[in-house]
Structure 1
Amino acid sequence: MIAVVTDDFFEAGNLINPVELPPEHEASIESWLDAIRHGQIGFLPRTTSQGLYWYAFAPTIREQKELLVLLDAWVGPTFSDLPRSRGRLYPADPFDAPLAAMQVSPLRFEVLPRGDRRSRDQVRNALLVLSRLVWNRPRSEFDAPRTTVEVLDDLGHAIAAQDRPMALGCLRELEATADLDQTNLALLRFRVYEGLEDWAAIFADQDLEHVLLLRRPIGITRILQRAVYTQYLEKADLDGSAADLHEAAEEIPPYLRVLATGAITRTRPAVVVEFLLGLLTQATSATFDRLLGEAALIAPELDARLRSLLPPTSRPESALDPEQDPPSATTLVHLLVNAGEFSSAIEEALAVEPDVELAGLMLACTRELEEHHLAVRVAEHLSVSGLRDTLARDDALVRSDLAWLDEFLSQQQTLGWLGWLAAVEADQALKITQADLNSTAEWEILDRSTVAQRLAGMPDEALARFGEYGGAFMAAHRALFIEAGGADLCERVLAGLALSEKTSAGVRVQTLTLLEYLAAAGPTVEILTSALEWTGLVVGGAVSAVTASWAVDVLQTATSGPQALALGAKHQFFFQVLEQLRPVKSALDLADLEGLRLVADELATSLPADFEIEDSEPELAAPYRHLANTTVVLYSLTESAITRAAQLLRRLVPGIDVRTTSEHGGSQQLASWSSNADVFVMVAASAKHAATDFIKEHRGSKPLIQVNSRGSSSILRALAEG
């Protein structure tokens, strides 16, 4: 197949004839053709009247994904459409059709800007060098990518820490190495965007239209509903009149009006979106009656507002005629199914005597909704009523639905977070490692007391397993650790991370996040002392020349808060971290060293002599000279970090006006600073979304420096880099 395709590559649809090219170009094409035929990567050019395209061939799916990453690095957005096309073929192009039929189809990208000789030559030269490097690199069984489980765990930690760059990095790693198809990757991306509350990214995702055409898990539909609510309806719902809300709904594009579910809604965004989509698509009165009842449970004023949008003159006729006799149970269920009211249909069918026809309808509705609690009730009904054996002999469609129900209930997603914690305690490896963002998406979030009790009761071995595989759990339960009483939870998870001896990027960012939450939660002396001891073990295992700056950030965050609280433990932790940094102290930059000095000053101690650099202040000030006579605003919820950074900037930069703020929302002062500051720094990982959106809105097109790591040295590094 490869030989046939490559032999025909320079035929119809390709204006390039290799024999008419310069000898060196023809020779490189021959080398690439030979490499492709022998199971190596290779690149072939194609010219059309529209432009120049390159096709990148790889022998396996894994190498294809790796090749896409390499092309991003070697060609990338500078000279190609790779960020947009992601190497996809165009099935509508007759030239691409046979290529798409290959077992491992090639990647395609266009050289940009079109007609530019420099970009054409740059891309060709880059591909020549890239192919030679890949052909000649040594193969090593030890140089393998991380397992999917490891990447997914870090992804959970990144979401819990609200570290967007790291989360997107994990997604790219999964795209390059994990055995996940395009659909599963798209669903995973949407769950990540939800965790980061990055609703704009959902609308910008290249696979959105593809997902809208799928039979989606209801959790994905709820995510898309939340995105629609945020983008189109939230402002009018919270601030405007009912008429404003209806007018806002008219702006929802037609392709997004397919997000009704027929399932019970339990949140304001879901009920508002489903109701307004019902208005736009002329839903039945059964749907509106259900949604109004659900709205009343969420907020009485919401029920009244939505009801006002549905005047009697425009209300769809009821599916039931009040002048006629009440319909039979079977007729009513059929009416509800036809109206798309699947959850209501199930409830009606469960409330009457067992019936084979109704049981088949319930199965079909359950499959549409994919809601675990309904699936359990339907399965129990079929078993208790004795209808299961009868259905197993029914037509093929009913048997298919029954088989789906069995598989759905046996999947890992039915485990639940309590079951997962039990698996951690019982060392059930398969159940532990199969829990990821997709499989756990519909699990019910545990309350604070339950999580505290389970973590407190775990022996060290189980706590170590929690630390090794708890990324998805932390992503789901992030809100518990932000609460005022979350100090004990933070301490337990830090213990788990320490006992796991894991040093991944996810563990490092989670450690910083937990320390920030801990400081804000008002810990007792005992909890803070214990947390510092566990953090010392984490730092000891993870510190290196590459992570030295991270260790400084950890030290700064861990010692924030009231100075007198656990002062002895802070002193011990300070010198413990310095001891761990000592072998790699040459990796510390001047901002890191200044950060250490600031901590020493706060703890009323001194920095060891070998960490001091004589006459460092002029050199330290150099990267910040561009800030002279400017107004700089530093925003972070970690007040100690921005206070330390401001102190240093005032000392180093003449005429600088540094202001700090830790507001949770918006104010007239924050609006003024956002609009007028010369430089605005926002520690995105330590910020409330309400405040970040407020800042971005008032900042407009002016530059905004976003820092994704806590600690004053991180802020200073970001300012130095501009």
Structure 2
Amino acid sequence: MIGTDLDAARTVLEDLTALRPCAGVPSDIAALCADVSQSVISETFPGALVPVIDSAGAMQIDVAAATMSDWRRLKPVLLAFAGPTLTGFDGLPESFAASDPVGARLQLAAPAVTAIMRLPGDDRARVAALRAVLRARDTLARAPELQRSAPVPTSWLLARFQDFLNVGRRDGATGILERLRSELRLDALNVKFLEVQLLAAFEDWRSIVALPEFPSLCVARRTPAITAILLEALYRTYIAGPFDNGDATGTRSSYTRDVQGFVQSMGITAPPPALGAGGWRLLGLEILDDPGRQDWRAALSDQAPDLGWIADLLPVQASIEPQQVEVAAPIDVARGALIQAGAVDSVDLLADAMAAMARLSPEELELLRETMPFRPIVQVTDNLASIAPPTSWVAWLDRTAEPAFADALEIARRGKDEWAIGASTADPVAVHTLVAALEKVQGDPLAAERTTQALPYLVAWLQRDKDFPCAALSPIYGELLTLFALGSARGATVYESSQVLVGALLAGGLDQKAYRDLIADTDEIAGDGFGVDMIYWVLELVENFMNSATPDADAREAFLHRILARIAPIIGRLTRLQRIAVTLLSRELGWELPVSPTSDVAPTDDGLASRLAGMRITIYSLTESSSRQAKAALEEISSSVTVDINADHSGSARLRALAENSDLFVMTWLSAKHAATDFIRTHRGNRPLIYSQGKGFSSMLRAIEDFLRS
């Protein structure tokens, strides 16, 4: 099958059938051609085979493989059944001719590899060749399941989901979410929590509150991170307007009318970690309405900058004399900790409960085991063999080499939101300790594999730092990038989050040695060669290096030339938009793409020009030079496309007009201001709004092309 979407493959087959590629041949050959063409929609066939008669009457079979993996499966079988003895196929990739309508249609599916099998001119020989190709197809269909891709574990899909969120790939994260939902990998509540996390990553607060399940989410057992998101969504939707205007009466009225019921239904006993300014303000408003909430007062006393003018209205916390403090009995402390762990899905609270239980006598522990509502959570702790889960990344890394640490990725997924990040930025000793722990795991295969799979969570944890990227954390960024490189060498997925670390290291400034190490790691991640699906990832890397200061210009130039040289062999298979992006970057480096026999054939029409024709596209980015480059690339493809660029820091009449009237609106995720993004969403409505993950023009082109292809 060409691609992974059966519906899209069926559309391709219908279009090919309408072209009548084998018109005029004898009926027996026509029947064989139709049978061979069914490979386009065969879910067991790694690619597509389509016979076609050219204008001179010669017959050939156009071959297309969606991925390099498919090509590696397909090529040896075709050579074995219908190689040079029956056809002109020698196993080498070959571009389709510009005059080949079948090839033009297959190109629209963006195959990774194309080839041509030329058939003899004699009808009898053609029949033999076509039958041989059918036997090859049937052999692949009967191949054992072992030759197919292994099922992807749910934990890997969740890591990939986080990876897309780290770089603002909303389309990619949405695709993973739909897969988790359709394959029933998670229960409905956890899928909904992931949807909330996705919407929060793009600050789409109103959509969170508008979810039909929102009231249920407020009363469900949640992680602290989800609680913080729900509070922030309520604040941004109902309270931010009057609060920003300093309207105390309007703020308190909106809170009582629209928000208070939700906050009270959440049953919050302690402010969750990573609570945003909006969440703190809601807790402050609740104290104003109920001064008896002394359980929050101590936490709020340190949050005056986040509370704003609410801090001046809060009641003064009564001082507690030392003699008034009563020390609770160990069993009461354990009961309280168990209630907290049962109400909130938190790694840290579970660790606290297990620590409290460890201080009990055997009799007290047995009493808790037999008493409701403590029995279920005590059973959970028993299942963990009384080993408390880690409460920091250093502790997590120390456990990764243990075979029994089977829930390592799940704990990492939760730890990214719960474990403190602020202390690490100010303490060189903490930075050194974490770097040493990361270095240590590289010596153990199991620890290294688990850490590689958890890299998106580590990057997400670092991005929680208000000062990200922080120069003091550069050693951590560098060590994580080395792990990305080692994972790539072992064949692990090249995570998009590696771009985040490259950008952070370049922004922080590096000496010559560190810069050369960065180039070496990035070179390793990119690999010796890459397919069409990695082009935009590579182009974003190139842009990042070109737009950042360098302590070693010669090393950077050599590296960028190596990267571009690896693109040359596949330039003929790139889309027009990708080719334009490569050409623009090459010109900036003073480098001309070499012309080779396999790359000098311009790709056939990929349909982007016709889809862009007549469209009005707006690109919103504070990096105007990148916006102008993206505008030039789009206009080069279609003279009738209208591209507007905007960099207003807040709402304006022009930005509103663009949001309301554009056919497609592109927002640069990393360089957009909150006021402007909220303004755009408000006036955009349900019309298409997409996000580019980086500040460079190649990210913008990637987002537009992905949207047009979908």
The answer to whether TM tops 0.5 is yes
- Look up the match of 1:171: 177
CA–CA distance in 2 between the matches of 1:442 and 1:154? 20
Q: CA deviation at 1:433?
A: 3.6
Q: CA deviation at 1:258?
A: 0.6
CA–CA distance in 1 between the matches of 2:258 and 2:495? 43
CA–CA distance in 2 between the matches of 1:239 and 1:195? 26
CA–CA distance in 1 between the matches of 2:190 and 2:654? 41
- Whether 1:247 and 2:231 are equivalent positions in the alignment is no
- Contact 1:154 1:505 (C-alpha < 8 Å) held by counterparts: no
- Whether 1:396 and 2:371 are equivalent positions in the alignment is yes
Aligned length, in residue pairs: 544
Q: Which amino acid aligns with 1:476?
A: W
Task: State how 1:287-302 maps to structure 2 within 5 Å.
Answer: 287=293, 289-299=294-304, 302=307
- Contact 1:159 1:195 (C-alpha < 8 Å) held by counterparts: yes
Secondary structure of 1:435 counterpart: helix
CA–CA distance in 2 between the matches of 1:586 and 1:419? 49
- Look up the match of 1:56: none
What does the per-residue CA deviation read over 1:93-126, in whole Å, with 9 as the maximum and x for residues that have no partner? xxxxxxxxxxxxxxxxxxxxxxxxxxxxxxxxxx
- Whether 1:416 and 2:416 are equivalent positions in the alignment is no
- Contact 1:375 1:405 (C-alpha < 8 Å) held by counterparts: no
Gap change, CA 1:414 and 1:388, over 3 Å in 2: farther
- Contact 1:155 1:167 (C-alpha < 8 Å) held by counterparts: yes
Q: CA deviation at 1:499?
A: 1.0
Selected match of 2:461 from 469, 476, 479: 476
- Contact 1:633 1:677 (C-alpha < 8 Å) held by counterparts: no
Deviates more, 1:696-705 or 1:510-519: 696-705
Q: CA deviation at 1:146?
A: 0.9
Q: Which amino acid aligns with 2:145?
A: S
- Contact 2:351 2:391 (C-alpha < 8 Å) held by counterparts: no
Selected match of 1:454 from 412, 434, 438: 434
Task: State how 1:342-491 maps to structure 2 within 5 Å.
Answer: 351-352=326-327, 354=329, 360=335, 363-364=338-339, 367-368=342-343, 389-390=363-364, 392-393=366-367, 396-397=371-372, 400=375, 403=378, 406-407=381-382, 410=386, 413-424=389-400, 430=406, 432-438=408-414, 441-445=417-421, 447-448=424-425, 449=428, 450-451=430-431, 454-455=434-435, 458=439, 460-461=442-443, 465=449, 466-480=451-465, 482-485=468-471, 489-491=476-478
- Look up the match of 1:273: 282
Deviates more, 1:146-155 or 1:533-542: 533-542
CA–CA distance in 2 between the matches of 1:360 and 1:652? 67
Gaps of 5+ in 1: 1-135, 312-317, 319-325, 330-347
What does the per-residue CA deviation read over 1:39-88, in whole Å, with 9 as the maximum and x for residues that have no partner? xxxxxxxxxxxxxxxxxxxxxxxxxxxxxxxxxxxxxxxxxxxxxxxxxx
CA–CA distance in 1 between the matches of 2:562 and 2:356? 61
Q: Which amino acid aligns with 1:475?
A: A
CA–CA distance in 1 between the matches of 2:395 and 2:489? 24
- Contact 1:491 1:531 (C-alpha < 8 Å) held by counterparts: yes
Secondary structure of 2:252 counterpart: helix
Gaps of 5+ in 2: 1-140
Q: CA deviation at 1:716?
A: 3.9
Q: CA deviation at 1:598?
A: 1.8
Q: Which amino acid aligns with 1:269?
A: G
CA–CA distance in 1 between the matches of 2:332 and 2:306? 40
Percent of paired sites with the same residue: 17
CA–CA distance in 2 between the matches of 1:184 and 1:698? 28
Q: CA deviation at 1:248?
A: 1.5
- Whether 1:148 and 2:154 are equivalent positions in the alignment is yes
- Look up the match of 1:183: 189
Gap change, CA 1:655 and 1:218, over 3 Å in 2: closer
CA–CA distance in 2 between the matches of 1:415 and 1:358? 19
- Contact 1:624 1:719 (C-alpha < 8 Å) held by counterparts: no
- Whether 1:509 and 2:493 are equivalent positions in the alignment is no
Q: Which amino acid aligns with 1:159?
A: L
- Contact 1:296 1:302 (C-alpha < 8 Å) held by counterparts: no
CA–CA distance in 2 between the matches of 1:366 and 1:713? 46
Q: Which amino acid aligns with 2:282?
A: V
Deviates more, 1:605-614 or 1:667-676: 667-676
- Contact 2:575 2:606 (C-alpha < 8 Å) held by counterparts: no
- Look up the match of 2:99: none
Tell me the TM-score normalised to structure 1 length. 0.62
What does the per-residue CA deviation read over 1:666-712, in whole Å, with 9 as the maximum and x for residues that have no partner? 37698478569857753444334615524515754596652435453
- Look up the match of 1:598: 584
- Contact 2:571 2:579 (C-alpha < 8 Å) held by counterparts: no
Task: State how 1:23-38 maps to structure 2 within 5 Å.
Answer: none
Q: Which amino acid aligns with 1:297?
A: D
Tell me the TM-score normalised to structure 2 length. 0.63
Secondary structure of 2:418 counterpart: coil
Selected match of 1:645 from 617, 627, 630: 630
CA–CA distance in 2 between the matches of 1:201 and 1:299? 29
Q: Which amino acid aligns with 2:587?
A: D
CA–CA distance in 1 between the matches of 2:606 and 2:340? 69
CA–CA distance in 2 between the matches of 1:420 and 1:555? 34
